[in-house]
Structure 1
Amino acid sequence: MAYKDFRDFLDTLRKEGQLLTIEDEVMPEPDLGSAGRAINNVSDKSPALLFTNINGYQNASVAMNVIGSWPNHALMMGLPKNTPVKEQFFEFARRWDNFPVPVERMDSAPFQEVEINQDVNLFDILPLFRLNQYDGGFYIDKACVISRDPSDPDNFDKQNVGIYRIQVKGRDTLGIQPVPQHDIAVHLRMAEERGENLPVALAIGCEPVITTMAAAPIGYDQSEYEMAGAIQGEPYKVFTLPGTNLDVPWGAEFVLEGEILAGVREFEGPFGEFTGHYSGGRSMPVIRIKRVYHRKNPIFEHLYIGMPWTETDYMVGVNTCVPMYQQLKDAFPNEIVAVNAMYTHGLVAIISTKKRYGGFAKAVGMRAMTTPHGLGYCKLVIVVDETVDPFNLPQVMWALSTKMHPAHDVIILPDMSVLPLDPGSNPAGISHKMILDATTPVAPETRGHYSQPLDAPLATEKWEKIFQDLLSNQ
């Protein structure tokens, strides 16, 4: 099911009716950002967008909303496009267990068709535009950023592939926001303690599996490339850059090679974020680009980000749920049933669990807040019974309505860590967090009147299957 490269996936979307090509001339602003917003406003099965005629840019195309719906996400996994999200979650989790799948190293890469190593001017190379009207500048927000652990540079597993917001500051200069909870912030701190710049590479227009894994909160010493191999079912192809020894996605459209300058900070922002608010400006590290590779007639992939839901929410939905699910199962292997952390990148998480004894569900909620992702997110954790589908919001609301007692089932944890982009944090990066226990009380916590639950009619599962098959053939 693995895709050869970014273009191969676009071809699949086109064949499946999930790619809309716009050949009419468009303006970079406001048309491209507006289109990225609009496509998710009109449908939850929205196609990817490919713009081939952009005013002011010759031989440049822009792709947006590439993983911006559950059909596209299913196709990314090689599943039928009508696969329900809950099934996508469990299939993703099943493949997760195949980790690690060693990479396949390639001797050359398609992006080597064009190399620019003198007088780099990103304004000439990339079709840049603002996504939202009050953004502080042009942003690159769907690049896989690769860095190595400076204290252990030969350790492939500690090489990080992540996605961060990146502002174009000048001809060869970028600003980057490394959130403290993310691995690149660890790498940068180590490099700066040694008085060294941190080599980085930015890969734009990659196969969707590695982009998805780059946005996943996996362990520090877990390779995103080896996890991508597990998800796609065969080794992931990488190419080693001769200048920095960084392994980059073989099928990328663009690769920018440079380094984060030690000790240098510049004003970055504001930027319209996934929280549905502008983030304001902060002093952030700076990247100096030394070399650019790209394919002939490259496709620049961009991601609209703003008030949910947008492509961001589909891209970081299942791949946030599954790591938390696996990490919670490590602690509670017989109890955890499913995790839905798709809302605002997991600032809200819903966990379905069995219970051993009274108070157990509250402990599950507290453990979720100490997972790698939960440390910076999981501001609100809702815990429900194993019979409640956490992906079915009406069921979750029913559990909150009937199972939760405000006097007993609300846990407030003061002054916990959260990502600084949370607009409710005060000071930035600090927030109270809350657990809502919406499970049925069990001994010794016995209260309420829950002895006569209503079961579904006997043939309900049979008819669910009948209707799924009928609807999938429409």
Structure 2
Amino acid sequence: MVYRDLRSFLEKLEEEGQLVRITQQVYPEPDLGSAARAVNNLGDQAPALLFNNIFGYNNGRVALNVHGSWPNHALMMGLPKDTPVKEQFLEFARRWKNYPVPVERVDTAPFHANQVTENINLFDILPLFRLNRDDSGCFIDKACVISRDLDDPDHFGKQNVGIYRLQVKGKDRLGIQPIPTHDIGIHLRIAEERGENLPVAIAIGCDPVITTIAGSPLTYEQSEYEMAGAIQGEPYRIVRAKHSNLDIPWGAEVVLEGEIIAGYRELEGPFGEFTGSYSDARHQPVIQIKAIYYRDNPIFENLYLGMSPTEMDFITSINTCVPLYHQLKEAFPEVEAVNANFTQGLIAIISTKTRFGGFAKAVGMRAMTTPHGLGYCKIVIVVDDFVDPFNLSQVMWALSTRVAPDKDLVVIPNASVLSLDPSSEPPGITHKLIIDATTPKAPESRGEEFAPIVEPPRDTVKWEKILKELINK
């Protein structure tokens, strides 16, 4: 099933019992942030939340935790909501290989219903609020930010759709944190070298697939829109911006058009980040908003960030695992699956067949040198192919029974990591660790042969299906 906008996906979630509507009046602070944290505490089956009655906003609606559970992730892909995580991973990986799927271009979109180009005031349209107590202000943290390479503006793949935190600095100004290695960071560098402002479009409240792909580590020339088409199985629908050559998701609730001001920086942050710690204040670029478009009675979608688990662990989960998986598979066909679901892949668990002693350590090294692994993959755990990396009980079994600390730990000193990692010192530099939790193979030796593995009884899989059907009746 293809969801063209956020609203149609929310309808599906409600139909499947994965949406809770809160009709009682709530305050923007602390109620919305508190509710978002609370629903994340309910586990990996938690529903999305939709608030319809927010004090101070006549028409404002807020959606939280839309991607924040495995059932919601499965439904986004058109799968049954009880689809196991590893099966979701394998299906996502299969669709990934269908890239590219050409886009569908249209002339108008629902967000064209309302337009503001003068006396812009974000607070008139969006029910803005702080997520955590010590955030330096209100942030828009789940919007798709679109930009282009000004040196190659006709290259469709060099148009980027990414998710970057946006601090509200005024009624028509935003701060943005563009990591230099991310595509928008490259676009901004090119623009500033040309002495030009960088046009951007900010799409808030999009369909679930493009938001997921916007958080994926695609290569610089890969189009997020063409990848979204591959994942949803149909061409992705876009519309051209009115004030630039940028393409915008058709189903967005609110669209902001503006420019990143070249050569100008001001303090941004602190902000409670996905690491569970506050990032400090740093000088960051500023966006000047020039136009706002929005649907009638728009939905402001936001993302809670803090100590895991949060929605971030789902929105940057399988879409992080799959690129790593395909990149590893090119070098090591033996790789079975990759679990980089936690804190955007700062820790990754890889299952693989092993050809010879030391093989797993080579797999771990390759993971750390992938485009995503260079800034993440601080700890890589490698397990055997019969261990499900998404089943943490099995992973703990492998760590408990397969790791010899004097032989199976590899430390890489002074490696790169994203500067938001609070353990890095200086920010952006850290030691990295590979843990080989695979069964030793010659010429490796542990002094004695490992005992045979206890295999499940013959009809275990059959009985899993029988019991699942009985439980779901």
TM-score by length of 2: 0.98
Q: Could you tell me which residue of structure 1 aligns to residue 390 of structure 2?
A: 391
Q: Could you tell me which residue of structure 1 aligns to residue 271 of structure 2?
A: 271
Q: Could you tell me which residue of structure 2 aligns to residue 69 of structure 1?
A: 69
Letter paired with 2:352: T
Greater Cα offset, 38-47 or 158-167: 38-47
Q: After superposition, give the CA deviation of every residue in 1:213-267 in whole Å (9 maximum; x if it has no partner).
A: 0001111111111111111110110001131110010000000001111111111
Q: Could you tell me which residue of structure 1 aligns to residue 144 of structure 2?
A: 144
CA distance in 2, matches of 1:373, 1:336: 17
CA distance in 1, matches of 2:171, 2:69: 34
1:228 match: secondary structure: helix
Q: Cα distance, 1:436 vs. partner?
A: 0.4
Q: Could you tell me which residue of structure 2 aligns to residue 446 of structure 1?
A: 445
Q: Cα distance, 1:126 vs. partner?
A: 1.3
Cα contact 1:76–1:209 (8 A) shared by 2: yes
1:263 match: secondary structure: coil
CA distance in 2, matches of 1:68, 1:184: 26
CA distance in 1, matches of 2:467, 2:373: 37
Q: Cα distance, 1:407 vs. partner?
A: 1.4
Q: Could you tell me which residue of structure 1 aligns to residue 181 of structure 2?
A: 181
CA distance in 2, matches of 1:464, 1:362: 34
CA distance in 2, matches of 1:367, 1:43: 32
Letter paired with 2:458: L
Q: Could you tell me which residue of structure 2 aligns to residue 206 of structure 1?
A: 206
Q: Aligned pair 1:153/2:147, yes or no?
A: no
2:271 match: secondary structure: coil
2:225 match: secondary structure: helix
CA distance in 2, matches of 1:160, 1:112: 22
CA distance in 2, matches of 1:139, 1:221: 29
Q: After superposition, give the CA deviation of every residue in 1:67-115 in whole Å (9 maximum; x if it has no partner).
A: 1111111111111111111111111111111111110001111100111
CA distance in 2, matches of 1:358, 1:293: 59
Letter paired with 2:400: S
Letter paired with 1:84: P
Cα contact 2:198–2:261 (8 A) shared by 1: yes
CA distance in 2, matches of 1:269, 1:470: 51
2:174 match: secondary structure: strand
Q: Cα distance, 1:451 vs. partner?
A: 4.8
User: RMSD over aligned Cα, in angstroms?
Assistant: 1.1
Q: Cα distance, 1:467 vs. partner?
A: 2.4
What does residue range 45-444 of structure 1 map to in structure 2 within 5 Å? 45-333=45-333, 335-444=334-443
Q: After superposition, give the CA deviation of every residue in 1:106-140 in whole Å (9 maximum; x if it has no partner).
A: 11111001111112111222110000011000000
Letter paired with 2:161: V
1:4 match: secondary structure: coil
1:356 match: secondary structure: coil
CA distance in 2, matches of 1:50, 1:456: 43
Q: Cα distance, 1:180 vs. partner?
A: 2.5
CA distance in 1, matches of 2:458, 2:82: 26
CA distance in 1, matches of 2:155, 2:111: 25
Q: Cα distance, 1:465 vs. partner?
A: 2.6
Q: Which runs of 5+ in 1 are unaligned?
A: none
Q: After superposition, give the CA deviation of every residue in 1:8-66 in whole Å (9 maximum; x if it has no partner).
A: 11111111111111111110000010011111213431111111111111111111111
Q: Cα distance, 1:440 vs. partner?
A: 1.2
Letter paired with 1:157: G
CA distance in 2, matches of 1:42, 1:341: 21
Letter paired with 2:439: T
Q: Cα distance, 1:206 vs. partner?
A: 0.2
Greater Cα offset, 346-355 or 461-470: 461-470
Q: After superposition, give the CA deviation of every residue in 1:276-328 in whole Å (9 maximum; x if it has no partner).
A: 11111111111111111101111111111111111111111111111111111
Letter paired with 1:145: V
Q: Which runs of 5+ in 2 are unaligned?
A: none
Letter paired with 2:429: I
Q: Could you tell me which residue of structure 2 aligns to residue 12 of structure 1?
A: 12
1:322 match: secondary structure: helix
Q: Cα distance, 1:198 vs. partner?
A: 0.9
Cα contact 1:143–1:202 (8 A) shared by 2: yes
1:262 match: secondary structure: coil
CA distance in 2, matches of 1:178, 1:432: 24
1:406 match: secondary structure: coil
Cα contact 2:172–2:289 (8 A) shared by 1: yes
CA distance in 2, matches of 1:25, 1:453: 57
CA distance in 1, matches of 2:78, 2:455: 35
CA distance in 2, matches of 1:367, 1:467: 40
Cα contact 1:379–1:432 (8 A) shared by 2: yes
1:188 match: secondary structure: helix
Cα contact 2:60–2:125 (8 A) shared by 1: no
CA distance in 1, matches of 2:303, 2:225: 21
2:285 match: secondary structure: strand
Letter paired with 2:469: D
Letter paired with 1:439: T
2:192 match: secondary structure: helix
Percent of pairs identical after alignment? 68
Cα contact 1:181–1:375 (8 A) shared by 2: no
CA distance in 2, matches of 1:223, 1:186: 15
